[in-house]
Structure 1
Amino acid sequence: MALRGVELFAGGGGLLLGSALAGIQHVAASEWNRWACTTIRENAARDYPLVRGLNVLEGDVRSVDWSQVPGADGVDLVTGGPPCQPFSLGGMARNADDPRDMFPATTSVIEQLRPRAFVIENVKGLTRSTFSDYFEFIKLRLQHPELRSRDGETWVDHFSRLQREHTAVRSDLSYRLVTTLVDAADYGVPQRRHRVFMVGFRSDVDAEWCFPRATHSASALLRDQAHGSYWERHGVRTSDRIPVRTVLRDIDGKQPWLTVRDALQGLPEPGARGTAPKWLDHRMQLGAKSYPGHTGSPLDEPSKALKAGVHGVPGGENMMRFPDGSVRYYSTREAARIQTFPDRYALHGAWTEAMRQIGNAVPVKLAEVVMHSVVEHLEVDSAKKRAADIRQRETARTMVRR
């Protein structure tokens, strides 16, 4: 039986799709942005298998009555990337349930649904020293979701109480937490994208889990480019190759980082007049310009991290730079390739809206790698519990016969 999951802050569906590829059957996905909700719904209407029949809950996650959501009772996994409003100790210590911060909402859902595990993703900035106390606060909240804030309690006071009670708390709901900062390029994503993953297993789950090992490396890419195999694979003439100087040796056994050129292989240039035939969301976006700090992503390196572009048209992170120095914006489909979205998955909305969804997403491939590992450990735990239950019943029958 497939493991059941609930996705929070689903956005355009990066973590959602990766979880589905790992075998999670989602009973619901919560998201407030109407464009993102339409993206998921339209793909479901097109009978795209990873979101087929998905219950999309549009609106504030804090307003969801989970007792009324079919299948939410007893889910195995809660996943999501909550927007967060980090606070420094030197600033205003607002109420622990500040309305701009979605981590309290996340811990509230975990408390209500009591999943066997959760996977929470967030930005690298959360690990900055400026926010170290807030980050530790978040981690303690996730480990002890039942230790809510009290009326009028600031997050600073709540943090102090969590620290005091952390080792002595006798709650029947607690989680063992593993926190890891990763670069998506190290896991087969053609993009330098650093993200924090917080993975928790409920205390009664027998799982000795660690973050999956990296499978790709920069050294392996440089080796292939120096040897020439990278250029030969793409049919690049010798005169057009970028000189690479590196030590030619068998390094770490990892695969090479994937580049922008790798990601876009087989995809035609977007048409100047509109959509390239037979390709979803593949239209030319004009107006790309290079300027200091926004020079685009070199074709033969992993892309820079795509940005959501919440203040109008995204900058140079969302365009590619060719060997001759010219630049152009990624089409929506090209950006989706960079984020490892499947080609059959359509993004709803104009270019800026679609790019916002893509830029906010977890790379699908990275999500699949993480979720596959989590699913594997949950399935092993289930098998152990079934075996123990069978042994217990057999022992009981033996005692009765005696």
Structure 2
Amino acid sequence: MSREEPGKRPTVVEICAGAGGQSLGLERAGFDHELAIELDPSAAATLKHNRPDWDVRVGDVADLNVWNPDDHPDVDLLAGGVPCPPFSIAGKQLGANDERDLFAWAVELCGQMQPKALLLENVRGLSSNRFAAYRQHVLDQLHEYGYIGEWKLLHASDFRVPQLRPRFVLVALRREHAEYFSWPERSAIDAPTVGEALKDLMAAGGWEGAEDWAKSADDIAPTIVGGSKKHGGADLGPTRAKRRWAELGVDGLGVADEAPGPGWVPAANAPGPKLTTEMVARLQGWAGDSEWEFTGRKTARYRQVGNAFPPPVAEAVGRAILQALHKQGPRRVLLESVKSSHDPVYTLLRQSERQLTSEQIIAKLAKAGTQMTMSELERHLGHLGRDFELDVVERKSGELAYGIGGFKAFVGQQDHQRHDLFAQHRSRIS
């Protein structure tokens, strides 16, 4: 049966699938899963529990003993929510030097598998100036593999999810499909407030104060943080987030086992009740209690929920990709992403046939219309040196000249430091 046969649903291989937020969204959009791979056994167990007929593999997605990409040569979509800590503003932003970084590897995987489309999502930190060259390198590689890639910062609240949750999303399609792709537009209906979304769940235990609480919880939630195995149990995020939760009448210092019961009153200094895992799932975009069941102990369930890509956002992006794959809707004139530079210093050095001094770099940038001070250039070079090998030579005049060398990120190399670091830290990678 041909994949192009009318009525046949397109297929997806999903890497770093988690507990199924992106999975559910893509399924709703119209994709069938050929395979889902997830490192965390608890999250994989939830995925398998809800979709027992799926092929769910547990283990390192970059391990050929777990799965072989060559077994899926004709898949329509390669998708995944690769680990966030390498780019998180809350972390060290190690990028290519972080053993958890699989973004560049996923791009190489796309080149190997040659799906019609690629979808990768990550944290907002990847959109920062720190990773401008990293993003440009990704677009360059995709272009070499025959894809047009685009980045977009999407807010979950724009898709009726009752929390802010900005996610930085990469979509890449083959040229024949890319001209039909448009990013999904925000919903015409505002996202519900925390109170509107959770009133029924907060009242489920018989708490008489649920109605008044819901009226006071009159805004969307801050970004829910799933946390990692490296840090304690389940709570609702860092200090700033907890303050915002308190303003909404929520105690962010943990997650409750059940909703408040009759006569419940908050403990001293507590701003209100704690949320249950089911409530947090509702705020992540799982609409109904019976829609998706999370397995495991409370902390494991909370991490599964908190680290998920909200299903409504994944569905919206999935539908936009599917429309492009079907070549539906208006065609657009393609903006060649590789011609718009995320980092002009990276682009200049990559295109130069020889190393350039700081003064030469600044002069060439100015000629091309980009003004940059010496301190700004030094900062750019510092960022570049974290993700790329810099070729630095000393001229006879004593000036240093710079060129771009190899990309430090893991892209499948057998001798990469990622293997040893991953094995060393595997028990606390999530």
Equivalent position to 1:372, from 319, 324, 344: 319
2:27 corresponding residue in structure 1: 20
Distance (Å, rounded) in 2 between the aligned partners of 1:93 and 1:350 = 31
Give the AA of the match of 1:199: V
Which amino acid is the alignment partner of residue 281 of structure 2? A
- 1:135 to 1:314, Cα distance in 2 relative to 1, 3 A: farther
- SS in structure 1 at match of 2:306: helix
The Cα of 1:104 is off from its aligned counterpart by: 2.8
Range 356-365 or range 335-344, more displaced? 335-344
Q: Using a 3 Å threshold, how does the CA distance of structure 1 residues 115 and 65 change in structure 2: closer, same or farther?
A: farther
2:282 corresponds to 1:337: yes
Query: 1:206 and 1:135 mapped to 2: Cα distance?
Result: 18
Q: Aligned with 1:205: secondary structure?
A: helix
Residue matched to 1:209: 181
Deviation at 1:327, TM superposition (A): 2.2
> What displacement does 1:346 show?
0.8
Q: CA deviation at 1:126?
A: 1.0
1:1-400 equivalent positions in 2, closer than 5 A: 1-45=8-52, 53-64=53-64, 72-83=72-83, 85-86=86-87, 99-141=99-141, 143-144=142-143, 171=144, 173-205=145-177, 207-215=179-187, 254-269=188-203, 271=205, 299-310=217-228, 311-312=231-232, 313-315=234-236, 317=241, 321-322=248-249, 326-341=271-286, 342-344=288-290, 345-380=292-327
Mapped to 2, the partners of 1:198 and 1:25 lie a distance apart of 20
Q: Amino acid of the residue matched to residue 263 of structure 1?
A: A
Q: Does 257-266 or 73-82 show the bigger shift?
A: 257-266
- CA distance in structure 2 between the aligned counterparts of 1:378 and 1:204, rounded to whole angstroms: 9
Q: TM-score, normalised by structure 2?
A: 0.59
Q: CA deviation at 1:354?
A: 1.1
Alignment gaps of 5+ in structure 1? 46-52, 145-170, 216-253, 273-296, 385-402
CA contact (8 A) 1:270 1:331 kept: no
| Rounded Cα–Cα distance in structure 2 between residues aligned with 1:203 and 1:298 | 50
Tell me the SS of whatever aligns to 2:50: helix
Offset at 1:302?
0.8
Does 198-207 or 4-13 show the bigger shift? 198-207
CA deviations over 1:333-383 (Å, ceiling 9, x no partner): 11111111242211122222111111111111111111111112212269x
- 1:284 paired residue number: none
Q: Which amino acid aligns with 1:122?
A: N
RMSD: 3.4
Task: Pick which of 66-75 and 341-350 moved more.
Answer: 66-75
AA aligned opposite 1:209? F
- SS of the residue corresponding to residue 63 of structure 1 reads coil
Amino acid at match of 1:257: A
Task: Give me the whole-angstrom Cα distance separating, in 2, the residues matched to 1:347 and 1:100.
Answer: 24
Hey, what's the Cα distance between the residues in 1 that align with 2:302 and 2:156?
18
User: What is the alpha-carbon distance in structure 1 between the residues aligned to residue 222 and residue 193 of structure 2?
Assistant: 10
Partner of 1:282: none
- Secondary structure, in 3 states, of the residue corresponding to 2:62? helix
Aligned pair in 2 of structure 1 residues 115, 191: CA closer, same or farther (>3 Å)? same
Spell out, residue by residue over 1:181-232, the C-alpha distance to the aligned partner (whole angstroms, 9 max, x if none): 12111111111111111111112436332211112xxxxxxxxxxxxxxxxx
User: Does the 8 A contact of 2:193 with 2:218 survive in 1?
Assistant: yes
Provide, for residues 107-131 of structure 1, a one-character-per-residue CA deviation record: whole Å limited to 9, x for no partner: 2321222110111111001112223
- Aligned partner of residue 37 in structure 2, secondary structure: strand
Report the Cα distance in structure 2 between the residues aligned to 1:29 and 1:138, rounded to whole angstroms.
23
Size of the aligned set, in residue pairs, is 284
* Structure 1 residue 76, shift from structure 2 partner: 0.3
Amino acid at match of 1:9: C
Calculate the TM-score normalised by the size of structure 1. Answer: 0.63
* Residue pair 1:260, 1:298 contacting (<8 A) in 2 also: no
Q: Distance in 2 between matches of 1:124 and 1:177?
A: 17
Q: Are 2:87 and 2:94, in contact at CA under 8 Å, matched by a contact in 1?
A: no
- Residue 261 of structure 1 contacts residue 300 of structure 1 at CA under 8 Å; is this kept in 2? yes
Aligned equivalents of 1:327 and 1:260: distance in 2?
A: 13
Q: Look up the SS of the partner of 1:308 in the other structure.
A: coil
Q: Call closer, same or farther: CA 1:305–1:98 in 2, change over 3 Å.
A: closer
**Segment of structure 1 superposing worse, 259-268 or 30-39:** 259-268
Q: Counterpart amino acid of 2:116? A: R
